[in-house]
A = this chain, B = another copy of it.
Amino acid sequence: MHAPITIRDVARLAEVHPGTVSRALNPQTRSLVNSDTAARVLAAADELGYRPNSMARGLKTSRSFTVGVLVPDLTNPLFPPIVRGIDDRLTLDGYTPLLVNTDSDPERERASIETMLARQVDGFIAATARLDVEPLDEAIARGLPVVLVNRTFEDGSISACTVDDQRGSQLAVQHILGLGHTRIGYVAGPQNVSTGHRRYLGFVAAMEAAGIEIAPGDVSFAAAFRELAGAQACAELLRCDPGLTAIVTANDRLAIGCYDTLAQLGLRCPQDISVIGFNDMLFIDRLRPPLSSVRVPQREIGYAAADLLLDQLTDGSAGPREVLLEPSLVVRGSTAAPSLRDAAAGPGA
CA A96 – CA B96 in complex, angstroms? Answer: 12
Contact between B29 and A282, CB atoms less than 8 A apart: no
CA A33 – CA B115 in complex, angstroms? Answer: 10
How many monomers of this chain does the complex have?
A: 2
Contact between B99 and A97, CB atoms less than 8 A apart: yes
Residues of chain B within 8 A of A75, CB atoms compared: 80-81, 84, 282, 299
**Known contacts being A84-B101, A115-B96, is A77 close to B287, with CB within 8 Å?**
no
**Known contacts being A32-B118, A97-B99, is A19 close to B111, with CB within 8 Å?**
yes
Q: Does A88 contact B (CB under 8 A)?
A: yes
**Known contacts being A96-B115, A111-B19, is A282 close to B77, with CB within 8 Å?**
yes
Within 8 A of B (CB), among A76-115: 77, 79-81, 83-84, 87-88, 91, 94, 96-101, 111-112, 115
Interface string of A104-133 (1 = CB under 8 A from B): 000000011001001100000000000000
Interface string of A1-29 (1 = CB under 8 A from B): 00000000000000001010001000001
Query: Which of A80, A91, A98 counts the most chain B CB atoms within 10 A?
Result: A80
Residues of chain B within 8 A of A287, CB atoms compared: 286-288
Interface size on A, residues (CB 8 A): 40
Contact of A87 among B74, B111, B118 (CB under 8 A): B74
CA A29 – CA B120 in complex, angstroms? Answer: 12
Q: Does A294 contact B (CB under 8 A)?
A: no
CA A115 – CA B22 in complex, angstroms? Answer: 11
Residues of chain B within 8 A of A118, CB atoms compared: 23, 29, 32-33
Residues of chain B within 8 A of A66, CB atoms compared: 98, 119
Residues of chain B within 8 A of A96, CB atoms compared: 98, 100, 115, 119
Residues of chain B within 8 A of A77, CB atoms compared: 77, 80, 282-283
Residues of chain B within 8 A of A149, CB atoms compared: none
Within 8 A of B (CB), among A260-289: 281-284, 286-288
Residues of chain B within 8 A of A94, CB atoms compared: 115
Residues of chain B within 8 A of A115, CB atoms compared: 19, 94, 96
Q: Does A73 contact B (CB under 8 A)?
A: yes
Interface string of A227-268 (1 = CB under 8 A from B): 000000000000000000000000000001000000000000
Top-9 shortest CB links A-B: A288-B288, A32-B118, A74-B80, A283-B283, A75-B80, A74-B84, A99-B99, A80-B80, A75-B81
